[in-house]
Amino acid sequence: MTQVDQYKGKLGFEIRDPDALSNGSTAVVDTLEEYGHSVRQFQSRNPNLIRLDCDHYRVELRYRRHPIKPTQASAAGADSTETPLRSSLGVTLTPNHPDHCDVELSELLLAMILRRLAEDLDVATVDWLHVPFTLTRAAFLGVFEDAETQAESHAQAAADHAAPDAYPVTEIAADIAGIHAAKSSAPLSPQTTPEAPPPAATPIDAALDTPPLLPQPTNGAKPVANGRLRGRACFEPVEVTVAQLEEHYAAMLQSPDTRATGRHALEARNRARARAKAGMTPPRGSGTAVARLGGLLAAMPQRMIATTSHLLRSPQLRGHLHIVCGATALLALQSSAAVAF
């Protein structure tokens, strides 16, 4: 079978619709997802071109504006009419795997895309694949309407043909009701005439004669079948189960093993607390030494400042200090080129 590389269609417009590309892309995405082809990538780098990447196909929508172009469009049951077109929207369906792509399914998918576009947009003409003539919008959509009408007529004919073969449910219900009425109207007094042997019991008679099963009380006898309990009768009431669990837990807490385990755990916890408290508390002798060292360190800056100020105020160092300050000032002025010797 010859594989087709691309499946093309084109829609013609009598006007220039700037929103045709955006609205058409939305309709195409909805149609693809409706038929099981989810769109993985949407590309719109060109203002007149949109590319859609799916699992099996790549779809391109290209919008073109052109001068008024008279086009002969064929209508159903009539001659072709001249339609002036001013813009067009091309649809190209390219299979990702042409060797494993069904041609008929691809053509049907393109047809459904063009149908959705023709219904949502103000389309004048439709070009389908390699057909040499152009169809009007009404002629293109009429093909789908005729196909749906034929499918409905075939389905109705099949239903009418299969109806006589089936036995109506209402007649079965009427037969069951008649049998029940005949049994209820039978005389209760014994008859002197010999009676005919009763007919063999049918499944319907057995179902009608069987009394309904009554619910069993929860506090009474439990239903037993073949020596085994069945259904909810296998379980005790919730109150009884809770009481049994409480008794079991109380017995476990009062056992010697449980008490010994609890006592050992309490002693281990007390020992751990004692060790942690001992590690955090410093010894007594080291506390006074640390306090004395901290006081000395805090008093050192104050003593250094006092000693320095006392030395600066002494009369023996006052003249020398003045000489040192004057020399420092002269050196600073010379280095900044403010004074030259």
Q: Average pLDDT of the chain? A: 76
- Region of 222 please: left (phi>0), alpha (psi -120 to 50) or beta: beta
Backbone CA torsion sign across 293, 298, 301, 306: negative
Residues facing 85 on adjacent strands: 69
DSSP state of 227: T
Which tens digits make up the pLDDT trace of 49-64? 999 999 899 999 999 9
Contact 64, 28 (CB under 8 A): no
From the list 121, 107, 167, the residue with the least C-alpha distance to 27 is: 121
pLDDT of amino acid 190? 46
CA distance 312 to 318: 7
Q: Where is mean pLDDT largest: 122-136, 159-173, 186-200, 258-272?
A: 122-136
Average pLDDT of span 139-154 = 78
Checking if the pLDDT of 333 tops 60, the result is yes
CA distance 86 to 76: 23
- pLDDT band at residue 1, thresholds of 50, 70 and 90? very low
The alpha carbon of 78 is separated from its chain's Cα centroid by a whole number of angstroms, namely 52
CA distance 8 to 62: 11
β-bridge pairing 57-74 and 81-95: antiparallel
CA distance 29 to 56: 14
> pTM of this prediction?
0.45
pLDDT of amino acid 332? 83
Checking if the pLDDT of 68 tops 70, the result is yes
From the list 99, 135, 98, 84, the residue with the least C-alpha distance to 114 is: 135
Q: Where is mean pLDDT largest: 210-219, 242-251, 303-312?
A: 242-251
Q: Where is mean pLDDT largest: 65-79, 127-141, 170-184, 323-337?
A: 127-141
Q: Per the structure block, which two tokens stand in for 312?
A: 């600066």
What proportion of the chain, given as a percentage, has pLDDT over 70?
A: 60
Checking if the pLDDT of 122 tops 90, the result is yes
- pLDDT band at residue 81, thresholds of 50, 70 and 90? confident
